[in-house]
Structure 1
């Protein structure tokens, strides 16, 4: 059962056959009524008074306690409450002696239950539970919630598709192990074969002898490219033609070189513009 006390939310919570008092203040903090806890455990009036005194005089516990003015049955009462985070500490400080175990076994049993569970029981009463709220809705409210959830899910999926990174040109290179001609690489960057060959020549990576391109020795040893031979046949003659084609390692090398020069693959440019 809950009720409003000005800016306070007060709840009486059933626990172990007794009633706990929980209070939530305007700042969101949750407090436990000390006397309700003592009564639930089974303490006598003298023991209750001792526990109130212990809390008010303890160096740590008194920092988490205060008195609240609460209305009960039309009357306002000053109630000592303990902040929920201090509750386990207070209960742990209540010693269970051998004599207590022998003469008040039921009190000891309840005390242990309070030490282990009371804080969580009170906390659950004040923490918002979407499931509990859903169970209070009628069929129309549940149907509206269902369709709203589906709508939000669809919007989220569309946003994910838009924001998800497209596969980069570098990824495409790594997916292919085939040899590829300079002309094809140049197209991927919006360049002509002549322009790319000139860049590679200026960077002292390749040189031209006659009509053929060759790598300088330092780069030839790195496995960047291979010389391939193609048989070309016409009606009157057949001849072999040699071409320089780039390996996967060579394509990565060219990609990094062009990147340093500020030249990006077309696929990466389109992705950047789309974002």
Structure 2
């Protein structure tokens, strides 16, 4: 999965005084597009390739490589061999190695946070980078804004040697399956989210809810918590057609996995498919 980049490790301690080196990786977003190479080689531009821009902020380090974000107040000249592409295409169309893809998803999360908080939500004044921690500070009223992380669940519902698989309504034409998923509401435990999301999307009741593993998922600013559980009651599915295009019970041989193994959803389905404890 995305976080499984060993022996490399993410060092996300904020370093406000960090200065980019020529080979530091730069993420440059423009709306829902990101700047990438158009030929073979490194996926994202370096500090030198972008002409040493000034308007950038330190993100994190993976291994010995540091990563920075161009804040986007002034777009640099686009170097030869690079172009902006939709962020949604990176996972499917680019031969990114796992650490690079992990870095991209984490940078996407932080980029959205910086962009959405250029102004203070309390008084409307422009915010500034904090000098000590990963935060934005309002110099007018003192409001401090920290990066937002949205808790969500992935649910593998089991019954009679089968698992409940789905396809989202917006992805009805994809050949592979997904699992029940949803965001945690205010005042709700993760286990209550599991029960509610399964009921809302399929009309099923569950029991024996057990935690499996978590995963950051930067495209939606999520922290995903994976759970397995057992059906409680009737297996008849009453699908929410606004959320899903398909929902069915599938045996191991019927589960169609995703084309890559970077998601928690895919790992949980693969675990069931291989007959491992769930």
TM range, smaller chain: under 0.3
TM-score if structure 2 supplies the norm length?
Answer: 0.22
TM-score if structure 1 supplies the norm length?
Answer: 0.22
- Bigger relative contact order (CA 8 A; separation at least 6): 2
Whichever of the two has the greater Rg, that structure is 1
- Indicate the structure with greater helix content: 1
